[in-house]
Structure 1
Amino acid sequence: MNMVPNDLCACGSRLRALRCCQLDARTLGPASASRHLLPLVDEAIACHTRGAFAEAERLCLEVLELAPGQGGALAVLFQIRKAQGARPAAEALVRRLVALDPNNIWATQELALLLFGKGDLAEGEVHARNAVRTAPTDPQSHNLLGMILTEANRPQVGEFHYRKALELLGQRQPILLANLAWNLKNQGRMAEARALYEESVALAPTILQTLLGWARMEETDRDFARADALLDDAEKVAPGHPSILLHRAIVRGRAKDYDAALALLDQLEGMNQSGGLGTNELLEKGRLLDKMGRFDEAFAAFDAGKRKNVELSGAVYMAEHAAQLAGRLKAYFTAQRLRIVPRAKPVESGPRPIFILGFPRSGTTMVEQTLSAHPKVSAGDELTLVHDIANLMPRMLNSPLAYPEALADLWMGDQSEGLDNLRDHYLQRVRQMGVVEPGKSRFTDKMPLNETHMGLIALMFPDAPLIHVLRHPLDIVLSVYSNHLTHGFYCANQLETIARHYLLVMDLVEHYRREMALKYLAVRYEDIVDDQETHVKRILTFADLPFDRKCLRFHENKRYARTASYAQVTEKLYDASRYRYRQYLKHLKPVIPLLEPAIARLGYRIDG
């Protein structure tokens, strides 16, 4: 076999491009056509089993040049490339395996795990769900879906799958217990999480990831001394491991020992001179430098972290998709049409939602912590339910159209109560997720960018308060840039795409406000910082809640906020986050012309 190097696929599989990523699946013959190659495949498998990886690779490449759909050779070459850390090649190979045989549970699980590892939770979930459908009694299928749902901010559903995996396994498996503990930590159920970590470590005291997860839980729960002790235990298991340094840096940062935290990150960078720091480490370094007043260095770290994220994940802003959705929403939600579109009936009994809307990093977490400190309010956190209903709507309304056009089926006699059904589905899911604590009558939903679907929310819950949190646009863009976020069609990796998506969403909000009646309140983050009591009273009055002084002490709220703001909202109200952009004006210069009209319209100005 004579390959020209320039013909090799860019993914790194070492197959020719025409036999790899440029392969036309329609040209593949039936499996029976490659039966004569099975002895070579068997030999490759045997070589791989005994550790003769180079020979196994040679045989697989030879087979796949002749029969690119040969499953056994694909599986062996996938395992070789995965072990080598050649992620693009491994992904390309396992994708082909799954495409050839969607019921191949092993390949489906491997693809889901690979996508989870690179942060593509949306597609990873698709394959993890298919793994559960294909093998509903396989614990690993449920474990994978639990992992993905937990990291996708749906921990209640993730918890179900972790517990199902434990039930199917029939034993207390240490890693599964640790996974469930992390899930419960993300729900703010710290005591339950701690008990599971204790059990997991008692069964297997030398699993590094378990000790690191437990240390992170204690840091989240503000027990920094316990977190340090657990990291000392981790050091005994894996002396000098880079992840231990990162976790120590996070703990030191939370304890406001910024110099020590930065020194640990510098030490971590020195250990990996070829690859440097990863995305999360670079962004953490930038935030530390920001707190130390070293703003130019901080922005350089943010810049490097975002470039590293694009390099590793390939995630770029889905500008066309975002614009198309916004255009279709504006075309559908018009005053003329809305005059004849029915509304759901008001919720007559049971808990009712309060929607906290706002762009990521606008202050929505602080407002939720304030409201959930009230004795009548439970925190729902980032509920994906409105987005889920938008996706489910065509099926639920038996419509051939997509959302939002599927709402036209509400004019059909058999769908005249369709919005009531959508509303009830939302409330049923809230009950199933255990969002509402006993004795409470209201709950919050603060999913970032829910304002994109403000029209749908108002149709389902015409009486629900819509509290829209505003913040200086330059502060929002800067804060999104300094954090690792996936909301907003992956807009967060560049300043310009953050600004463009912000403008797109704000334009959509203004459209909804012009075209339909809304129970809407805009509240500025800066106003709450300036005069907390006045504006908290205003919010509570708008939400039909009596004033309670506990809401002024939101930092004493013991619930864990599952957002990048989890550390800030455990502290008293302070003004360090107001107008941070002033320290970064030269770095934000490219987006200022884009944002100036919105800044003026919202009553802000740009101060040097």
Structure 2
Amino acid sequence: MNQIDSSLCACNSGLTPESCCQMDMAAAAAADVPATLHGDAEAAASALRSGDRERAEGLAIDVLESAPLHVPALRTLASVRLDQKRQNAAAVLLERIVGEEPTDYWAVSKLALLELGRQQHLKAEAHARQALRLAPTNPQSHNLMGVALTQTGKAAAGEYHHRKALELSGKRIPMVLSNLALNLKNQGRMQEARELYREAVAAEPMNRQSLLGWAQLEEADRNLDRAKELLDRVEEVSAPTPATRQTRAAIFGREGRADEALAILDAEEQRPLRPIELMERGRLLDRTGRYDEAWEAFLAGKRRAVEMGSQTYLREQARGLAEQLQQFFARERVDILPRAGVRSDVAQPIFILGFPRSGTTLLEQSLSVSPEITAGDELPVVHEIVATMPRLLASPHEYPGALAELWMGDKRDELDSLRDFYLQRARQRGLMGGEARLFTDKMPLNEVHLGLIGLIFPRAPLVHMIRHPLDIMVSAMSNFFTHGGFCGSQLETAAEHLVLSNTLVTHYRKVMDLNYQAVRYEDVVDDQEATMRRVFDFVGVAFDPRALSFEENVRYARTASYAQVTEKLYDRSRYRYRHYLKHLEPALPILEPLIEAWGYEV
């Protein structure tokens, strides 16, 4: 086993801490760089170009130990680390280059690609935007932007950039076609995506990325035999990979072949499983009744994700925002705030509220069987408004303080502008066409901003899906999500944020008149028809009996629970926490008040 040199920086760059993550930035920036170092840096770059990576690495490190901000040497060492797939080290070095030279397109674009690979999608989007600013006519910039936007839930905008990449290149590039196909799949446009995969594979029959993407589309679209055929083709092209194994295991899991799926994931014990594989393994163990092993797999997946750079809970930011919201949305303030007008010329939102994995997808799948309701999935628009509110309202304050502008005589109608901003974003996502007069927005934890939603859409139905808090915790631990300030990285922080968000809901309901209805997940399971009739009645749409067979709704639910909502209603997830009660003990003191407030018991 290779020993880690404790004298070197923990980021694994190969530099000493004083020349890397612990450097004195001011001193490094002010230091004179001897002319000889420039020659050494050029020699390092030349060695890299000639393929002598070891010499390039050594020369670059020598330069950076003396001049830690020497950009050409940073570029060489970053290139070596990228080749070695030492992602954390490469990210540190690339960020240092971008800090020194924000217009370095190579570094910015590489950083965007790296963050996409590490599942750091928000960071990737920020770097992709900068790459596009620097090179707006470069097809690669648009393709990169398309991938980043697709991964952050802005699929309609992402589609534009993929199509722009094809237009600028003047060619049907298979890689871009595959990326566009994934984008359309995420929009639920399965047949269009399928045709693009077919075109990409016809152009490059041995391209495993296109074949694997196509197989994953067929799995999502319930064509499991076709998905397996395509996976076989992928493994004819190259040896089985973690991605192909995980996809095949997911297919076997959907077919009820949990033991075979586990055998696939466990086939190479010497290779550490990736976070997504560990979580899949845990879910399969859960299905076979091996609950202690399942929990260990869930914990291992969370730990591995953090080791690979995933963010942990942003506790102080979450608490700080909650405190500001409670202070601003006081009764005496809310009473004198205006409300946006209600438009009747375009479709209007139904907000499906709830913690991730609380049953919101089940509810959306049931409602969207009606031709009057379009499924919008997780729309990030409320969060966009929150982030850009100072600019939108020309306020010197951040949200929620920026809402104080609404007390000004010349800003009384600005909520109409925020409303129209939201509706325009919905239109861009294709939610305004056809006969539907309503669309759903089930972005998890929108309830944190329930006060803002109540100002912009005062009559919008607010359907809050609640579920036994301990069941929510089991689901939170068995899946990855970034909502709620990355609270899902640990059991205790997921519990903490669930309580925090519900405290805000309780507060908003005390100080505002909201068109709000809570729906219990357990009631949907126990008495599906009566519960769904109440929900349809609440949103003002005639009950559609097809809601009772929501699994026949052919739309692709673009969330982690896409597979579950293609099954008939089942009760195996109701009170699932009982299998994990001893593992959930750390969360019990946090959740007990909420369990009681929601009318549950342990």
Counterpart position of 2:227: 227
The Cα offsets for residues 191-219 of structure 1, whole Å up to 9 and x where unpaired, read as 00110000000111112121111101000
1:146 and 1:34 mapped to 2: Cα distance?
43
Q: What is the letter of the counterpart of residue 266 of structure 1?
A: D
**How does 1:64-463 map onto structure 2 within 5 Å?**
64-267=64-267, 269-270=268-269, 273=270, 275-463=271-459
Q: CA deviation at 1:380?
A: 0.6
Q: Which residue identity is paired with 1:449?
A: L
Q: Quick check: 1:593 aligned with 2:573?
A: no
Identity %: 52
Give, in whole Å, the separation in 1 of the partners of 2:462 and 2:6: 57
SS at structure 2 position matched to 1:89: helix
Partner of 1:495: 491
Q: 1:603 aligns with which of 594, 599, 602?
A: 599
Change over 3 Å in CA distance of 1:31–1:141 after alignment to 2: farther
Whether the 8 Å contact between 2:346 and 2:432 is mirrored in structure 1 is: no
Q: For the Cα contact (< 8 Å) 1:334–1:516, is it kept in 2?
A: no
Are positions 1:584 and 2:583 aligned together? no
Question: Any conservation in 2 of the 1:344–1:459 contact (CA below 8 Å)?
Answer: yes
1:14 aligned partner:
14
- C-alpha distance in 2 between matches for 1:319 and 1:202: 49
Partner of 1:473: 469
Q: CA deviation at 1:92?
A: 1.2
Structure 1 unaligned blocks of 5 or more: none
Aligned match of 1:570 = 566
SS at match of 2:205: coil
1:81 Cα deviation (Å)? Answer: 1.3
Of stretches 528-537 and 241-250 in structure 1, the one that deviates more from structure 2 is: 241-250
Instruction: Provide, for residues 381-422 of structure 1, a one-character-per-residue CA deviation record: whole Å limited to 9, x for no partner.
Output: 100000000111110110000000000001122211110000
Q: Alignment RMSD, CA only?
A: 1.5
Contact 1:380–1:436 under 8 Å retained in 2: no
**1:138, CA displacement in angstroms?**
1.4
- Deviation of 1:312 after TM superposition, in Å, equals 1.2
- Cα shift at 1:435: 1.9
> Number of paired residues?
599
Q: Which moved more, 1:250-259 or 1:18-27?
A: 18-27
Offset, 1:314: 4.2
> Is this contact kept in 1: 2:120–2:310, CA < 8 A?
no
| 1:509-520 correspondence to structure 2 within 5 Å | 509-520=505-516
Provide the rounded CA distance (Å) in 2 between the counterparts of 1:184 and 1:30.
50
Deviation at 1:33, TM superposition (A): 4.7
More deviation, 114-123/363-372: 114-123
Q: Distance in 2 between matches of 1:15 and 1:261?
A: 42
- Counterpart amino acid of residue 128 in structure 1: A
Moved more, 232-241 or 351-360: 232-241
- For normalisation by structure 2, the TM-score amounts to 0.97
Separation in structure 1 between the aligned mates of residue 524 and residue 466 of structure 2, nearest angstrom: 11
CA contact (8 A) 1:465 1:519 kept: yes
Gaps of 5+ in 2: none
Deviations 1:440-459 (A, max 9, x none): 11100000000000000000
> Which is worse superposed, 192-201 or 123-132?
123-132
Taking the aligned partners of 2:305 and 2:599, their CA distance within structure 1 comes to: 34
The Cα shift of 1:240 comes to 3.2
| Partner Cα separation in structure 2 for residue 7 and residue 26 of structure 1 | 23
The one-letter code sitting in structure 2 at the alignment partner of 1:498 is A
Partner of 2:478: 482
Distance 1:6 1:245 in 2: 36
> 1:432, 1:590 → 2: CA distance?
44
1:313 partner SS: coil
- Greater mean alpha carbon deviation, residues 133-142 or residues 26-35: 26-35
2:47 alignment counterpart: 47
